[in-house]
A and B are shown apart, each in its own frame.
Chain A
């Protein structure tokens, strides 16, 4: 299956094209200097993969947590695309992508994924990285900075915001290539047998928001 993956949740954005043979093309993910818009990355990636739009069969989108602006842009773009070509849409939590990439890189054991939630808090998910997969032990929740740091005493940390968390935490960014791999795994399974969501897609909204209109 030809999957176009959009990672727009972190400060290092990327787009990837993957099929049964693996990664065909990727734009971004290396932190290059010139920032490109999502459509530019999609255009680059499709051209590099040698695909035309109608050949894409699924679009995978990272749902964060992360930049609401980036995630919403990717979701809206994917939904727009789906209106023309009946592609499958798959949402992938960014924390799952970070854990999966670390597992694929050979890391093993307990790891915490920590993503800055602003206001002195972090989104935290706990994973056990095994020989074959990264198993989520505790799904995303918001913890204080102190709790996030305390957790690093018992597990290794993975985070796009590692500099704020000290040496026990390794800097890591979700990549579109990993998002595509997780989506491919999801799509290969019988319906509704794993945790990933098909449409409708929404960013990860964890913090309860009290909306207030400025007087």
Chain B
């Protein structure tokens, strides 16, 4: 009776029991050994409990299975209690697991088995694991296609027209509760100097970031395209109006995971950059870095063939290689169309009047393949459902509808997914889950299964969800919101356990802004925790700390790198595969 009463009186011990049920047999046996220690030395027991709470996954990896010695050490009544708890947990989880599996993957044998394997692999990770785990678990690498031969085309047209450099102020940023330091523009700062196991960079780009895009490549050197709005302001012109002006696109280079620098800057007169999207192919020409699709506030879509090594650092783009647009509407978003077979040469765009259009770069006539009404208002996002459903596309618009359609026959094969009570600012497709991840009521991240009708809540925030990002190498969902916080969540924590299980949310960093001092504070090193209930009151955060875009790197070997662009011009690039808790 003595040990039992102590166990119930100690809240931390109760939490241990709950965690142990989730982790499985190994943790249960460890708890028995810890209870033995607790009887002998209570003060030492507390330290051990806190250690276990900090790193619950470490014992799984480091300690081998030794059932005989562990069972021999304990007495008979304790072992009976452990077995009873283990049995009840399995019964509950198995029923919910099957239902969730069928809702996500259907009853097709291959899809279902694939889902089971993925769940078994990923359900134990509460946060981003090591790099070896990322790459080792990938069953196959998707082969990137090369673009058709365009030898007859001229390279990017840039000239020596006079242009002016933008005046950028220094930002005062404080890291890890240290004193603020002045960060100069385009000078990367490593916030993890004291921790050699972590790698990342924080940059003051000098433009209010709205879009970031990693270049697809199979080489070690990574490139990141960064674009932003015209000016730093809380308000902007209407999205239904054409605006233009001098702006820039910065290309950053990441070498050997240790060196991050600005490669060159592309200047243009097209206004605010709404979206940047690299063509998801590897360039076959050494002189060309890649094809970059740019959607600007002048309502046109341009495709730039970006040179690998331009002559100058400051490059002015006078005319794009391909320009697409309409007279009666503005292009608001785009996505490259990766067909099921063949090469990539089509771009699907959404317009401000709710129309969808499909452009083909190879078509000699500069007319869209189709231009049909689809939504009733501004289309905000167009996403392709790669890799299992390359013909399905997701769209969100200001009419609060989320739709999905088949590009092979868009008139017949289309349906609304849901009607939300607020504008859905972002939507992504998670191929591992076979589900759509979007935001509902602008503050909740939800998973909508493609095959089933279930909708699961993944995270709740106090600010509006601005951007979501998925990767094909791992299932972690990166969430960015207007509260200046970027989090990652493992959605397989919802699938791999019982109904009541919730996924832990790992806050990567939090950006805070003081208007009085005109300084920023960037906090990281947060512990994964369960999502808190949403507050009833609505808090308006400063516009400076809004994180406008997050994107995982989609290249093999760099799948753990996450780029975050913020409205104040801060760009944070971080290797999350090396995350270690202190």
Q: Do A and B bind each other?
A: no
